[in-house]
Amino acid sequence: MHSAPNLETLDTPCLVLDRTRLGRNLERMAKWVGERGVKLRPHMKTAKCVEVARLAAPAFDAPIAVSTLHEAEYFFTAGYRDIFYCVGLGPGKVARAAELTRRGARLVTMVDSVTAAGAVASAVREGARLSVVIEVDCGEHRGGVSLDSPALLSIARTLGPAYSGIATHGGQSYAARTPAETAAVAKAEAGAARQASARLSEAGFPSRIVSIGSSPTAVADEDLTGITEIRAGVYMFWDLFQAGIGACELGDLALSVLTEVIGRPEGRDEFLIDAGAFALSKDLSTAALPLERRADYGWVCDLDGTLLPDLRVARVWQEHGLVVSARPLAPDSFPVGTRVRILPNHACPTASAHPRYQVIDGARTVTAVWSRTSGW
Q: Does 96 bind its own copies (CB under 8 A)?
A: yes
Cα 273–chain centre separation:
26
Q: How far is the CB of 88 from its own copies (least distance, A)?
A: 4
Asked if residue 218 lies in contact with residue 235, where contact means CB atoms within 8 angstroms, the answer is yes
Give the SS3 label for residue 90.
Answer: coil
Shortest reach from residue 318's CB to its own copies, in Å: 6
| Residues of span 134-193 touching its own copies by CB under 8 A | 137, 141-143, 146, 149, 151, 171
Which C-beta is closer to its own copies: that of 141 or that of 208? 141
Q: Which stretch binds its own copies (CB under 8 A): 29-37, 54-62, 110-118, 153-161?
A: 110-118
User: Minimum distance between the CB of residue 320 and its own copies, rounded to whole angstroms?
Assistant: 6
- Whole-number Å distance between alpha carbons of 303 and 169: 37
Minimum CB distance to its own copies smaller for 160 or for 355: 355
* Residue 355 in the binding site for its own copies (CB under 8 A): yes
Residue with smaller CB distance to its own copies, 87 or 250: 87
Q: Name the DSSP class of 287.
A: G
Tell me which residues in 312-351 interact with its own copies (CB under 8 A).
317-320, 322, 335-337, 339, 348-349
Which one among 11, 61, 202, 221 touches its own copies, defined by CB under 8 A?
11
Compute how many residues bind its own copies; rule: CB under 8 A.
Answer: 63
Interaction of residue 353 with its own copies, rule CB under 8 A: yes
How many CB atoms sit inside 10 A of residue 229's CB? 20
Alpha-carbon span 91 to 115, nearest angstrom: 8
User: Which listed range, 18-26, 50-58, 114-122, 206-214, lies at the site for its own copies (CB under 8 A)?
Assistant: 114-122
Q: Which is nearer to its own copies, 172 or 182 (CB)?
A: 172
The CB density around residue 141, as the number of other CB atoms within 10 Å, is 10
CA distance 182 to 85: 25
Q: Which is nearer to its own copies, 228 or 358 (CB)?
A: 358
Look at residues 14, 17, 13 and name the one whose alpha carbon lies nearest to residue 239.
17
* DSSP-assigned states of every residue in 210-276: EEE--HHHHTS----TT--EEEE-GGGT--HHHHHTTSS-GGG--EEEEEEEEE--TT-SEEEES--
253-262 CB burial, b ≥16 within 10 A, e <16: bbbbbbbbbb
Q: Is residue 231 near its own copies by the rule CB under 8 A?
A: no
Q: Interface residues for its own copies in 269-308 (CB under 8 A)? A: 272, 274, 277-279, 281-284
Q: What are phi and psi of 81, to 5 degrees?
A: -120, -35
Residue 160: C-alpha distances to residues 22, 35, 228 (Å): 41, 34, 21
Task: Choose between 262 and 288: whose C-beta lies nearer to its own copies.
Answer: 262
Contact status: 93 vs its own copies (CB under 8 A): yes
Element (H, E) at 302: none
Task: Give whichever of 168 and 228 is closer to its own copies, judged by the CB atom.
Answer: 168
Tell me the angle at which helices 151-159 and 179-202 cross, rounded to the nearest 10 degrees: 60
- For residues 34-53, which are near its own copies according to CB under 8 A? 45
Peptide bond preceding 13 in cis form (omega within 30 of 0): yes
Residue 266 engages its own copies in binding (rule: CB under 8 A): yes
Nearer to its own copies, 115 or 333 (CB): 115
Instruction: Give the CA dihedral 273, 275, 276, 280, nearest 10 degrees.
Output: -140
* Least gap, CB of 263 to its own copies (angstroms): 4
Residues that bind its own copies (CB under 8 A): 11-14, 45, 67-69, 87-93, 96, 112-113, 115-116, 119, 137, 141-143, 146, 149, 151, 171, 260-266, 272, 274, 277-279, 281-284, 317-320, 322, 335-337, 339, 348-349, 352-355, 374-376
